[in-house]
Amino acid sequence: MRKAFKVATVFTGAAACVAAFTPAATAAVRPDTSHRNCTGGGEFTTSMVFVWPSAAHHGPTCVGGANGTGWTHLGTDYISFCAGNNSGSMKVSGSTRKFHEGQISPLYSDYVSSVRITKYGLYADYCYIP
């Protein structure tokens, strides 16, 4: 009985160690950063919201998720953004700018090539979807 118990304990410990260091285990905790057309105009979201110039005839773009490892390509001009519950960096007109949760800033039709969300905040910072 003792020998079987020791073997089971070693097996369980090894399996737990493998699970803790497997990338799939961390993927569930930190979803990939993605962008999409915002839905639900007139509502609030914790995602980042990028507003297009009126001449573009396009609704706002929402960006969410915090994988922190890669950049999500946007590749267009925006007039403003709201960070929502997110912190990270974005590449704007050739330079990298940091942003923090709750930040609302004009972009003056600057070209935003990509965004990287490295942290999703604990507070309820919401963006209005126009």
Q: 36, 61 in Cβ contact below 8 A? A: yes
Which residue ranges make up each domain of the chain?
A: 1-30, 31-128
By percentage, how much of the chain surpasses pLDDT 70? 72
Look at residues 129, 50, 127, 120 and name the one whose alpha carbon lies nearest to residue 90.
50
Poorest-confidence range of 4-8, 80-84, 106-110? 4-8
pLDDT of 16 higher than 60: no
Q: What is the pLDDT of residue 29?
A: 41
* pLDDT (tens digit per residue) in 60-95: 999 887 666 678 889 899 999 999 999 999 999 999
In terms of phi and psi (left: phi > 0; alpha: psi -120 to 50; beta: otherwise), the region of 87 is beta
- Rounded to an integer, the average pLDDT of 47-59 is 90
The token pair at 119 is 């942290």
- What mean pLDDT is reported for the chain? 77
- Regarding pTM above 0.95, the answer is no
Amino acid identity, residue 1?
Answer: M
- Between 84 and 4, the more confident residue is 84
Distance CA 101, CA 59 (A): 22
